[in-house]
Amino acid sequence: MSIERDVAAQYGVMRYSLGSLLVNAVTGNRHWKPIWREPEPKPAYDVVIVGGGGHGLATAHYLAKEHGITNVAVVEKSYIGSGNVGRNTTIVRSNYLLPGNLPFYEHSMKLWEGLEQDLNYNAMVSQRGVLNVFHSDPQRDAYARRGNAMRLHGVDAELLDREQVRALVPFVDFDNARFPIRGGLLQKRGGTVRHDAVAWGFARSADSRGVDIIQNCAAIGFRIENGRVLGVETEKGFIGAKKVALSVAGNSTRVAAMAGLRLPIESHAVQAFVTEGVKPVIDVVMTFGAGHFYVSQSDKGGLVFGGDIEGYNSYAQRGNLPVIEDVAEGGMALMPVIGRLRILRSWGGLLDMTMDGSPIIDLTPVEGLYLNAGWCYGGFKATPASGWCFAHLIANSAPHPLAAAYRLDRFARGAVIDEKGMGAQPNLH
């Protein structure tokens, strides 16, 4: 704590509190300081993290806070938060099925629960509950299997019948549906987190601990000598590093290729949508079980929703019309009360789809080069745990137990973590 203050003082970070808010208000808000510096890269660091998204910034935060490694740079090709952390539908949950995933995502959930205090930044972690509705007996049993797995891992899960679902979301179509709702799986601790604030909060905290956050500085190559990484070539010149950590989400294969690595990953686009702001409509996060539609309402009042991924390799960060129609159809089938609400914006992100739908946190064949990738469309909820485990891996060159299943060699061995049972077909996960 006291060390924290010193560092804070040294880097001039301000603690946020109602007090500081009022004091600044009366002094015309003239004394707020930048929440991160804009440093030029030093010649070398102990660790260079490539990618200033949620995971990269969280990794920097935990490296500094949990492992005392502060001689760290995060190089980001655009502005921090420009990637998926800033364009996702913000759902956090730990309602996973397989043992390889459950403990990891539950740890993430726990870190979310303490995040504001940890960061002294309000990321608006909102545990409003995540409800997945089902429409048939087999689907119910599959959710029961999942719910039971969660409970065995000490994760909260409730299986609701039709009437319990109705009580929770009375505006949903129960009477005129092609696929009537038969019940749902509810994780009350699940919810949403303000996406941008996650990037900013971790960045502010990392910066305050001495981490250099360098924007508009894409990694364009690696210096590797006899199997060991020596540093990163960037748009701002060479930056030496004892260790280099990749956390570039949708661009993992491109960046890894610079180090001569080939990955079990395809890049896919997925869209999201937001409607005009309206007074509260829906209080939980909800997922349709008979189509591609999931929705929550942002604190600003917009319904934020998404659907299926585009389905073809893409780096374009945008989508096409069929998915938009498919999503709207799903929305109208589930809750026709939203029909006259208007979509004000749609956008796309760039997903790292792996061959089994689960992520990779591992060492690479290149000594000193670490990989964090393959988060598919579910890595926002993973942000804190991913940073936590990746920091551990970087600090100790050994996997964190919670991420022990996320090794690269699992594909060759066949020890895949395939929640959906879709096989080696990334666009189906």
Partner 1 sequence: MRINCPYCGERALEEFTYRGDATVTRPDSLDAASEPAWVDYVYFRDNPAGRHREHWHHSAGCHAWLVVTRDTRTHEIVAVEFAGKGKLP
Partner 2 sequence: MTSQPNRLAQGGVIDRTKKIRFSFDGQKFTGHDGDTLASALLANGVRLVGRSFKYHRPRGILSAGSEEPNALVELRSGARREPNTRATTIELYDGLDAASQNRWPSLKFDVLAANQLFSPIFGAGFYYKTFMWPASFWEKVYEPAIRRAAGLGRGAGLPDPDHYDKVNAFCDVLVIGAGPAGLAAALTAARSGCRVILAEEDFRLGGRLLAERYEIDGAPALDWVKAAEAELESLPDCRILRRTTVQGVYDGGTYAAIERVNDHVAVPPAHQPRQRLWRIVAKRAVLAAGAIERGIVFGDNDRPGIMLAGAVRAYVNRYGVTPGKRAVIFADNDDAFRTAADLADAGVAVAALIDARKAPSAAAQHIAEGAGARYLSGAAIERVGGGRGVNAVEIRDAAGKAEQVDCDLVAMSGGWNPSVHLTTHLNGKPQWNEGLSALVPGSLPPGMSVAGAAAGSFGLASCLAEGLAAGAAAAAECGFAASAGKTPAASDDSGAASPVWLIDKSRGKAFVDFQNDVTVSDVKLAAREGFRIPEHLKRYTTLGMATDQGKTGNANGAAVLAAVTGRYIGAVGTTTFRPPFTPVAISAFAGHHRGPDFRPARLASSHAYAEEQGAMFVETGPWLRALYYPKRGEDPQDAVNREVANVRERVGVCDVSTLGKIDVQGKDAGRFLDRVYANTFSTLPVGKARYGLMLREDGFVLDDGTTARLAEDHYFMTTTTANAVKVMQHLEFCQQGLWPELDVQTVSVTEQWAQFAVAGPRARDVIQAIVDSAYDLANEAFPYLACGDVTVCGGTPGRLFRLSFSGELAYEIAVPARFGDSLARAIVEAGAAFGIAPYGTEALGVLRIEKGHPAGGELNGQTTAHDLGFGKMLSAKKDFIGRFMAAREALTDPARPRLVGLRPLDRADLIRAGAHLIPKDAELVAKNDQGYVTSIAYSPSLGHWLGLGLLARGPERHGEIVRAFDPVRNGDVLVEVRPPCFIDQDGERLRV
Ligand X SMILES: Cc1cc2nc3c(=O)[nH]c(=O)nc-3n(C[C@H](O)[C@H](O)[C@H](O)COP(=O)(O)OP(=O)(O)OC[C@H]3O[C@@H](n4cnc5c(N)ncnc54)[C@H](O)[C@@H]3O)c2cc1C
267: contact with partner 1 by CB under 8 A: yes
- Per-residue x/- marks for partner 1, 202-241, CB under 8 A? ----------------------------------------
Applying CB under 6 A, among 70, 90, 94, 139 the residue interacting with ligand FMN is 90
CB 190 within 8 A of CB 93: yes
320: contact with partner 1 by CB under 8 A: yes
249: contact with ligand X by CB under 6 A: yes
**C-beta of 98: minimal distance to ligand X in Å?**
16
Binding partner of residue 327 among partner 1, partner 2, ligand X, none, CB cut-off 5 to 8 Å per kind: partner 2
362: nearest Cα among 252, 258, 254: 252
Q: How far apart are CA 350 and CA 405, in angstroms?
A: 24
**C-beta of 232: minimal distance to partner 2 in Å?**
22
Q: What does DSSP say about strands 228-234 and 285-287: parallel, antiparallel, or unpaired?
A: unpaired
CB 57 within 8 A of CB 386: no
Q: How far apart are CA 372 and CA 370, in angstroms?
A: 7
Applying CB under 6 A, among 55, 61, 146, 195 the residue interacting with ligand FMN is 195
Site for ligand FMN in 324-363 (CB under 6 A): 345, 347
270: contact with ligand X by CB under 6 A: yes
Q: How far apart are CA 267 and CA 351, in angstroms?
A: 5
Near ligand X by CB under 6 A, which window of 5-13, 45-53, 143-151, 329-337?
Answer: 45-53
Site for partner 1 in 387-426 (CB under 8 A): 411-412, 424-426
Residue 360: how many other CB atoms lie within 10 Å: 23
CB 24 within 8 A of CB 32: yes
Residue 302: partners with Cβ closer than 8 Å, 6 or more residues away: 274, 275, 276, 277, 278, 344
- Per-residue x/- marks for ligand X, 381-420, CB under 6 A? x---------------------------------------
Q: How far apart are CA 172 and CA 181, in angstroms?
A: 9
249: nearest Cα among 361, 372, 154: 372
Nearer to ligand FMN, 9 or 316 (CB): 316
- The gap between the terminal CA atoms of the chain, to the nearest Å, is 43
Residue type, 40: E
**C-beta of 263: minimal distance to partner 1 in Å?**
7
**C-beta of 22: minimal distance to partner 1 in Å?**
49
Q: What does DSSP say about strands 369-373 and 360-363: parallel, antiparallel, or unpaired?
A: antiparallel
Cα–Cα distance list, 322 to 168, 271, 305, 399, 402 (Å): 31, 11, 16, 41, 38
Nearer to partner 1, 326 or 367 (CB): 326
Applying CB under 8 A, among 90, 192, 205, 314 the residue interacting with partner 1 is 314
Binding partner of residue 300 among ligand FMN, ligand X, partner 1, none, CB cut-off 5 to 8 Å per kind: ligand FMN
Applying CB under 8 A, among 52, 56, 264, 357 the residue interacting with partner 1 is 264
Query: Radius of gyration (Cα) for the chain, nearest Å?
Result: 22
In the complex, the residues that contact ligand FMN under the rule CB under 6 A are: 86-88, 90, 195, 274, 298, 300, 302, 304, 345, 347
List of residues contacting ligand X (CB under 6 A) = 50-56, 75-78, 82-85, 87-91, 218-219, 247-251, 255, 270, 272, 306, 349, 351, 375, 377-381
The binding site for partner 1 (CB under 8 A) comprises: 253-254, 257, 262-267, 311-316, 320-322, 355, 411-412, 424-427
